[in-house]
Structure 1
Amino acid sequence: MTGPNADLARPFPSRLVHDVRAVVAVMPDPQHPPMSPFSVDVAGEAVSIPSRIYNDELPADAQHGLTATQRLILHCLYSRHSDGMVRQRHLEQIVRSGEPWVVPFVVQLVGEYVVEILEAIRIGLSDAATPDSAQRLLYGDFVARNPSFFARTERRVVSYWSCYYRHEHPTFGTYPGCVILELLRAAAADRTGRRWPRHTPPGLTSTLSPCMPTASPSPP
């Protein structure tokens, strides 16, 4: 694939190449190139997902010709948009999906700063609290395959809580990001049959200095 949107094919498994091309073909050209890609393992295949994209949203009438899979791909891509409200709108369309290739788009947003997005993820992943549910198995498998990515996500959650939300949530355990992390750890423990490592202190409170980072935050 060539052209200004060529990099947008890399976040998805190779079997979706024709669907991705159909989506990218109707997306507006980006104002800037995609930013800071991160690599993860999706069901045994490496993909590279941009931290941010800068394409204007696709008009609703331009989506009519897309299949259900192609619309899901579109929502995944726009969940990486530079505008937080755009990210949230598209996240809400993917968070309950049972496709393994959707999972990294959701988990990446756990490590970002918009608390309304965290609340949407917490609600959307409610089935993952049920042992042996399809959602719990799906997210447990992803975390088990990507321990470094998940550890980095944990540290970012603490960083953003410390910078922006510790006055509203003096105890880290009440912060929505912490609630999601605990759910994902439990899912990974079920998947692997062992206790999953923790990279956030349990019971962390507001004794941290303001904006004391534990990892480099995600792009705004």
Structure 2
Amino acid sequence: MQLPQDPSNFAYALVAAFPTRLASDVQSVLAVMPEARLAPTMPFEVEVQGEIVAIPYRLYYEEPCADSERPLSGTQQMILHCLYSRHHDGRVRQRHLEQIAASGEPWVVPFVVQLAGEYVLEIIELIGRGLPGLAVPGSTQRRLYGEFIARNPAFFARTERRVVSYWSCYYRWKYGAFETYPGCVLLEAFRAAVVEQVGAQWPRHTPPPLADAGEGTA
């Protein structure tokens, strides 16, 4: 059954967060999720391998019980974790992020990168631990993230600005220099991935590293 393309339709809003080939898998996930208290909010659009998806900024679903999740396939469980990484409760986001950070699926990448631009420091640190391949030239993980950022420069620029803003607002007292902040370290790893992918420098929307203060901002 094709869902009506109406963003006020909760199911459609979640199906739209994934490539169309996964629509039936998303439907299976929705069947085990409790009813939402509120509609998904503020979807952001990104391109995943040539297809535009619209991922909700926040979800207001309670988590399903373990017995409900058990029949889901591996792909469906990954979809469920992606969706709950958009949950309004930061602890729930972190718990589900742990299950997707190391995934090699291109459609998981925007869920991870979006979390890099949020304010919970433990989540940012978790992403760093979950993506060791970002530091390895030529790795599959580096290629995966580099390709995504190359296709979504405006989304990455917005993520950079959010990281700077949250550092300045909440963490400057702890990390006096932006380059020592875990969010900056993660952004530099993302930037290295896209530079390797495109073979050229990439615009910077953060303060430059102190060791390279001559590099301007774009």
Same fold per TM (> 0.5)? yes
Match of 1:161 among 167, 170, 178: 167
Structure 2 distance, partners of 1:181, 1:31, is 34
Match of 2:137 among 131, 140, 147: 131
Match of 2:86 among 80, 91, 107: 80
1:184 is displaced (CA, Å) by 0.4
1:203 is displaced (CA, Å) by 3.8
Match of 2:26 among 20, 33, 38: 20
User: SS where residue 112 of structure 1 aligns?
Assistant: coil
Count how many residue pairs are aligned between Structure 1 and Structure 2: 204
User: SS where residue 41 of structure 1 aligns?
Assistant: strand
1:202 is displaced (CA, Å) by 1.4
1:47 is displaced (CA, Å) by 0.2
Identity %: 61
Instruction: Specify which structure has the bigger relative contact order, considering alpha-carbon pairs within 8 angstroms and separated by 6 or more residues.
Output: 1
Match of 1:119 among 121, 125, 131: 125
The aligned residue for residue 63 of structure 1 is 69
Q: Contact 2:10 / 2:40 at 8 angstroms: preserved in 1? A: no
Whether 1:178 aligns to 2:174 is no
The aligned residue for residue 39 of structure 2 is 33
Tell me, which stretches of 5 or more residues in structure 1 are unaligned?
A: 205-220
Structure 2 distance, partners of 1:74, 1:153, is 23
Structure 2 distance, partners of 1:193, 1:22, is 41
Structure 1 distance, partners of 2:192, 2:10, is 40
Q: Contact 2:131 / 2:141 at 8 angstroms: preserved in 1? A: yes
Match of 1:6 among 7, 12, 23: 12
The aligned residue for residue 214 of structure 1 is none
TM-score, normalised with respect to structure 2: 0.91
Structure 1 distance, partners of 2:132, 2:208, is 21
1:89 is displaced (CA, Å) by 0.3
1:126 is displaced (CA, Å) by 1.2
After superposition, what is the alpha-carbon deviation per residue over 1:154-177, rounded to whole angstroms, capped at 9, x for unaligned? 000000000000111001111111
CA RMSD of aligned residues (A): 1.0
| Aligned partner letter, 1:92 | E
Structure 2 distance, partners of 1:105, 1:49, is 8
1:25 is displaced (CA, Å) by 1.3
User: Where do 4+ consecutive residues of structure 1 move more than 6 Å?
Assistant: none
